[in-house]
Chains A and B, each alone.
Chain A
Amino acid sequence: MSHNESLERVLYIEDEEDIRIVADIALKTIGGLDTRCCASGPEGLATLETFPAQLILLDVMMPGMDGPSVLSEIRNNEQYQNTPIVFITAKVQADEVDQLLSLGANAVISKPFEPMDMAQKLKDIWEDFHRA
């Protein structure tokens, strides 16, 4: 698959406010990405109705609707069936990463992440996704 589009719009769904603030600085201010950070799965799904994210970053463990449930809902929306989704989680053991990928995620980033490397990491995932 070839593409000319660069990564510009990212949605991050994360229940922890402090992490959202750091991610917002890392992605928006440092990475120059148009970023929306949402506190819950339902809020993220509602945001996707008006914000056409090119890549979605998703926390795995959240109260109420967890990351895998949000992923499943996103994939039910035709507009986002092929949008790269990246899980962010502390669960980095190989079998758990495989399990998350098997749910339909395109990549898994381990938490804690290095805030200042985050935007570049997402841009690399975006490039890999389109190179595949």
Chain B
Amino acid sequence: MPNPSHQDINEELRQLQRDYIKKLPGRVTQLVEAWTSNLAQPKEETLQDIYRQAHTIAGTSGVLGIDEVSQAARAIEQVIKERESNDSLSAEETSAAQHSIDILRELSTSSEIKIREINLQRR
């Protein structure tokens, strides 16, 4: 069987990006649900869950070239990681995380989401 051409691989990567964007609203909804639950009843366990979800979205989006989503998720991750108290966020930390969650939610359902092409040409 011949090796796939760069064109084939590029198309496979583009398809992977498109499929990921379709999955993104569901993943963000899960994160928002955990966030809402934490606002109602702050718990260290829920904060850890939000941290893990934001970390995963940030990492995968970054690798797949969905950079704005990656940055918004990374900002949530950072706020939680650097929080002063283990089991809750301060008003300032809550506000910063909420801001990034709003951005993430908007981006995840936007039809104009920016996708950086994963180019096979070495730089």
Chain B binds chain A? yes
Contact A16–B56 (Cβ < 8 Å):
yes
Asked if A65 is an interface residue, CB under 8 A from chain B, the answer is no
- CB-based closest 10 A-B pairs: A112-B62, A112-B63, A111-B59, A18-B60, A16-B60, A19-B63, A22-B63, A18-B20, A19-B60, A115-B118
Which of B8-16, B28-36, B93-101, B103-111 is near enough to bind chain A?
Answer: B8-16
Asked if A132 is an interface residue, CB under 8 A from chain B, the answer is no
Q: CA A63 – CA B58 in complex, angstroms?
A: 16
Contact B13–A90 (Cβ < 8 Å):
no
Given the complex, which residues of B lie within 8 Å of A116, measured CB to CB? 118-122
Most buried by A among B4, B58, B62, B63: B63
Asked if A30 is an interface residue, CB under 8 A from chain B, the answer is yes
Contact B9–A90 (Cβ < 8 Å):
no
Binding site for A on B (CB under 8 A): 3-4, 9, 12-13, 16, 20, 52, 55-56, 58-64, 70, 74, 77, 118-123
Known: A18-B16, A22-B118. A111 touches B9 (CB 8 A): no
Among residues of B, the one whose C-beta sits closest to the C-beta of A91 is B81
Q: CA A120 – CA B119 in complex, angstroms?
A: 15
Contact B13–A22 (Cβ < 8 Å):
yes
Among residues of A, the one whose C-beta sits closest to the C-beta of B122 is A116
Asked if A39 is an interface residue, CB under 8 A from chain B, the answer is no
Shortest CB distance B72–A (Å): 14
Known: A22-B13, A25-B9, A29-B9. A90 touches B64 (CB 8 A): no
Shortest CB distance B118–A (Å): 6
Given the complex, which residues of B lie within 8 Å of A21, measured CB to CB? 16
